Structures are given as C-alpha cells and as structure tokens.
Amino acid sequence: MNAPAPMLRLTTQRQVILEELSKVKTHPTASEIYDMVRKRLPRIGLGTVYRNLELMAENGMILKLEVGGTQKRFDATTDNHYHIRCARCGKVDDLEIPVFNTLTEEASTASSYQILGHHIEFTGICPECQKIQEDEYEE
C-alpha cells in the first residue's frame, strides 16, 4: 500500500505560483515561472518553484505539459485541450478545436493498455516565425 498523501498547505509561495501561472496563456517553463514569481517573492528558490509545480500537477490543480523541446511547460487551464508548438521558436499555444473523446474509446478497443487519456500536439510555424522566414528568403 502507498503512504497517505500529505495534505497540501496553501502557502504564500504556492499561491503566488498559481496566480502568476493563471495570468498567462504562454505555457511557461519552470524557470520562466520562477522569473515571474520572483518579482513578488524575491527570496523564493528555484527548487521551491519546481517542487510546487510538481505537487500541484499531481493534485490536478495545473497541467504539466510534456511537449517537445528540452523543458517541461505548465498550464493553469486543466480541462482537456490541445496544443500547437512552433517548430522554429518553440512557443506553445492552445489550439481551439473540440476534444475527441471518442479517441479514448477507440484506443481502448485497439490496445491492451488501460487507457487513461490522450493529448494531441500539433507542430507548425507561428505567424511571427513565418514572417521571419519570408524575410530570410528575400535576402
């Protein structure tokens, strides 16, 4: 059996991390969140940011996105939705298309895994990077 989950306290640090993450739609990395939070809590440690993001993700308060790139990203919007990542600059945006709940059922019949969920990651070039590419082509 597993140890009982410790009860989560709503510390100042935890609260500010959640507030700052909720303010943005950019799916920031841990160190980006660290920079945001540090403006309000200059003494906070990077480890604290990591620990709390991890804990909050485990408790379903936020999403931990394991998308492409070297760093994990975080999302305060917890309802299931899809993402698109720019292949050039790495930016991650939400993609506003309906979630395919049927996919999970279809996967259940096709696999011996017990399906828990799914995530779709689109890849593309963001508008800004499209412009840059056009400029490069002219040279």
Partner DNA sequence: TATTAATAAGGAATCATTATCAGTATAATA
Partner DNA sequence: TATTATACTGATAATGATTCCTTATTAATA
- What is the contact surface with its own copies in residues (CB under 8 A)? 1, 66-69, 84, 86-87, 93, 95-97, 103-104, 106-107, 110-127, 130, 136, 139
Which of 29, 34, 32, 30 lies closest to 45 in space, CA to CA?
34
Who contacts 87 (Cβ-Cβ below 8 Å, separation ≥6)? Answer: 123, 124, 125
Q: Quick one: 67 or 99, whose CB is closer to DNA?
A: 67
- Chosen from its own copies, Zn ion, DNA, none, partner binding at 54 (C-beta under 5 to 8 Å by type): DNA
Q: Quick one: 30 or 84, whose CB is closer to DNA?
A: 30
- For the CB of residue 78, give the shortest distance to its own copies in the complex, in Å: 15
- DSSP letters along 35-78, please? HHHHTT-TT--HHHHHHHHHHHHHTTSSEEE--SSSS-EEES--
Who contacts 25 (Cβ-Cβ below 8 Å, separation ≥6)? Answer: 93, 94
Please give the DSSP secondary-structure letter assigned to residue 29.
Answer: B
Site string for DNA, 44-83 (x = CB under 7 A): xxxxx-xxx-xx--------------xxx-----------
Stretch that binds Zn ion, among 46-54, 92-100, 112-120, 126-134 (CB under 5 A): 126-134
- Where do contacts with Zn ion occur on this chain (CB under 5 A)? 86, 88-89, 126, 129
